[in-house]
Amino acid sequence: MNSHLTPGAGRYAPSPSGELHLGNLRTALIAWLFARGSGRRFLLRVEDLDRARDAGTADAQLADLSALGIDWDGEVVLQTTRAAAHEAAIAQLSSAGLVYECTCTRKDILAAPTAPHAPPGAYPGTCRDLTEAERAAARQRIAPRLPALRLRAPAGETGLGFDDLVLGHVVGDIDDLVLKRGDGTVAYNLAVVVDDAAMGVDQIVRGDDLASSTPRQILLQGLLGLPTPPKVSYAHVPLVLGPTGARLAKRDGAVTLRDLAAAGTSAGEVRAMLATSLGLAEPGESVTPDQLVERFDPAALPREPWVWGPASA
């Protein structure tokens, strides 16, 4: 580890569900620039908890990041190796009376009446206050499927705000979020909180589609006695959109490094393209990773999505 690095770290945490496209790569580059520009370590974590969505692309993703000039400190962390820490966090919450079993399906939740002003899809608390006899009957009813585990959100925690480096002040709704699914998979919101704290991550940069989940994670940080804002900073950055204005996807053509390479666009040219979209390079200018760090100013980061199309390449 370099001696000039300041305490704390930034990170990028992809799911190995497919190849990284330009939107993923742009977010990774921004996260790297935030970390390197502030003298932090930059860490990588492969979020491979959801085995059903694991397409085995982790190695290819790491190779693509390296090809763009994105380096990282230490070993890559596989989230599946963190199971003991996740279970310990659930046990800690349970010992505080903050965990209960839930047998509701998604259909049940959508069909149930919700509290006034509750956001669409918010958990209505159906299983929150069941008696032990009622819980036993519910378990029997769904067998062999197992109940999920939910957080009993403290009274009054219906919304929580935080200051985002890109979005400004954000307030999000909080309900009794899932901590562990019935199939045994630990929920993203819990795992990301536990793992970021364990890795020393205090700067979280990710797509703005995840901003709405951040208040839930901040609540969990507090309940688990982990660092919360302002000791942890958040920057939710604009996504990349496809030619139709929808979120960029593989259906939009050559959007991965492999596809772009097949079309004659090198990784260096992709880096330059992404840099131009961030206002860090002139169109067609070749830039090195070190030059991007020198030019990067978080305050000047574009606040609007980048619309990508063949003309952008």
- Report pLDDT digits (tens) over 258-279: 999 999 999 999 999 999 999 9
Ligand-binding site membership of 14 (annotated): yes
Q: Is the pLDDT of residue 257 over 50?
A: yes
Of 144-158, 190-204, 295-309, the poorest mean pLDDT is in 144-158
Q: Percent of the chain having pLDDT more than 90? A: 81
Gap between the Cα atoms of 225 and 13, Å rounded: 23
Q: Is the pLDDT of residue 117 over 70?
A: no
Ligand-binding site membership of 135 (annotated): no
The pLDDT value recorded for residue 178 is 97
What does the pLDDT average to over 206-235?
97
The pLDDT value recorded for residue 36 is 97
Ligand-binding site membership of 100 (annotated): no
- To the question of pTM greater than 0.85 for the whole model, the response is yes
- CATH number corresponding to 9-75+238-312: 3.40.50.620
Ligand-binding site membership of 234 (annotated): no
What does the pLDDT average to over 290-305?
97
Ligand-binding site membership of 12 (annotated): yes
Ligand-binding site membership of 269 (annotated): no
Ligand-binding site membership of 250 (annotated): yes
pLDDT tens per residue, range 22-32: 999 999 999 99
The pLDDT value recorded for residue 1 is 40
| 9-75+238-312 shares its CATH topology with 84-189 | no
Where do the structural domains in the chain lie, given as residue ranges? 9-75+238-312, 84-189
What does the pLDDT average to over 4-31?
93
Ligand-binding site membership of 295 (annotated): no
Higher per-residue pLDDT: 243 or 11: 11
Ligand-binding site membership of 127 (annotated): yes
Q: Is the pLDDT of residue 232 over 60?
A: yes
Q: Is the pLDDT of residue 313 over 70?
A: no
- CATH number corresponding to 84-189: 3.90.800.10
Q: Is the pLDDT of residue 155 over 90?
A: no
